[in-house]
Amino acid sequence: MTLEAAASLIKDGDKVAVGGGLCLREPIAMLRELTRQGRKNLHLCGTAHGFDVDYACGAGIVGAVEETHVSFEQDFGLALNYRRACESGQVRIHENCCNTIIQQFRAAAYGIPFMPIMSAKGSEEVLLHPEFKHIICPFTGNDLILVPALTPDVAIVHAQKADIHGNLRIEQPYVADILMIRAAKNVIVTAEEIIPEAEMIKLGPNVPYYEVAHVVHVPWGAHPTSCYPYYAYDREHISNYYKITQEGADAFKTKYLDKYVYGVKSQAEYIELVGGSERQKRLASWKNGREAWMELYNYE
């Protein structure tokens, strides 16, 4: 299946669980394709994220965000596209907390209507979730919050390895990906590598084929976030991206979207645009030892 065809299965308004987290293994090629296809009003959900959600907010494809954190951490700071989208009201804020949303994914994965949690009491995050219920625990008498199953319409995940049947080998950290896959109605995977079934079986898939609806081969599908062992995160690209977001929404459109998204027709073109084989070699150089690895975080 092509990336175009896979992306076309995601509909305006869908609740989309986004794999990876922060700087790691985010399905960015899929988000770019959704942008080119003009998708609108996606409801993103997941744990602690960064580039993906900020990008998608800047690209205008998002209507609601139910993540637990969106930033470039202390490396660059606040996620500016995300901020603008939240502050303008373009994006509805359903901020969640990591364990809460994990329990909501668990409930969906387990086929039960809710999970009870011990925390979140006292926090105002519950104000952003009128769907939560309280009960008095019939066993302990404690006040408990019941958080409902969160069933994404689709989970989009970038995996290191897949075979053509959909067996996946995702490397640690899994973040919430394996859980999201079990929770979602539909699972679309971009994979860095497609390997023969026999090799997959030898490695031992951690997601079995019948849980995955579609697999697309997309090398560098997580760039500019990392997809170890293939590539570290592209701090130079992200630094440039961040500077553009500092210039405002219009600059983001003309300097980033027009160039890196609308300006390319394929993943191969994108790879060339962001530096081609030279860049690929550089981001794989973390394997050459501590100094080389540090250098990738130290380019400025």
Partner 1 sequence: MSEKFKVTLDELFTYNVAKTIEDSTLVFHGVSSPIPMVAMYFAKLTHAKDMVYVGGVTSAIDPNPPFFPTTTNDWTMMQGRTAMITIDKLFDMAQKGELHRSFFSGAQVDKYGNQNVTMIGRPGKVKIKLPGGAGGCNLSGDCINYTIWTTRHRAPTKGDKKLYTLVDKCDFVTNVGHVTPYGTREQLRLVGKGPDWLVTELGVFDFDPETKILRLRYLYPDTTVEDVLNNTQFKPVIHPEVRVMDLPTREDIELMRKIDPLNVRKNEFPPKELERPFFV
Name the β-bridge partners of 207: 168
Cβ-based nearer residue to a copy of itself, 108 or 218: 108
> Shortest approach of a copy of itself to residue 150 CB, angstroms?
12
Residue from 212, 218, 232, 271 that binds partner 1 (CB under 8 A)?
232
Selection from partner 1, a copy of itself, none that 74 binds (CB < 5 to 8 A by kind) is: partner 1
What are the φ/ψ torsions at residue 252 (nearest 5 degrees)? -60, -40
CA distance 98 to 284: 31
What is the phi-psi region of residue 228: left when phi exceeds 0, alpha when psi lies from -120 to 50, beta otherwise? beta
Secondary structure of 104-148 as H, E, C letters: HHHHHHHCCCEEEECCCCCCHHHHHCCCCEEEECCCCCCEEEEEE
3-state DSSP call for residue 12? coil
Cβ-based nearer residue to a copy of itself, 115 or 212: 115
Q: Considering only residues 113 through 142, tell me which ones interact with a copy of itself, judged by CB under 8 A.
A: 113-118, 133, 135, 137-140, 142
Stated as kind and residue range, the H or E segment containing 45 is strand 42-45
Residue from 35, 100, 160, 190 that binds partner 1 (CB under 8 A)?
100
Secondary structure of 55-75 as H, E, C letters: HHHHCCCEEEEECCEEECHHH
Selection from partner 1, a copy of itself, none that 176 binds (CB < 5 to 8 A by kind) is: partner 1
Contact string 60-99 vs a copy of itself (x = CB under 8 A): ----------------------------------------
> Shortest approach of partner 1 to residue 265 CB, angstroms?
31
Name the β-bridge partners of 226: 24
Name the β-bridge partners of 37: none
Cβ-based nearer residue to partner 1, 1 or 118: 118
Tell me how many residues contact partner 1 (CB under 8 A): 76
> Shortest approach of partner 1 to residue 232 CB, angstroms?
8
Answer whether 274's CB lies under 8 Å from 225's CB: no
CA distance 8 to 4: 6
Is 204 an interacting residue with respect to partner 1 (CB under 8 A)?
yes
3-state DSSP call for residue 182? helix
Selection from a copy of itself, partner 1, none that 300 binds (CB < 5 to 8 A by kind) is: none
Contact string 138-177 vs a copy of itself (x = CB under 8 A): xxx-x-x-x-xx----------------------------
Binding residues for a copy of itself, rule: CB under 8 A, are 111-118, 133, 135, 137-140, 142, 144, 146, 148-149
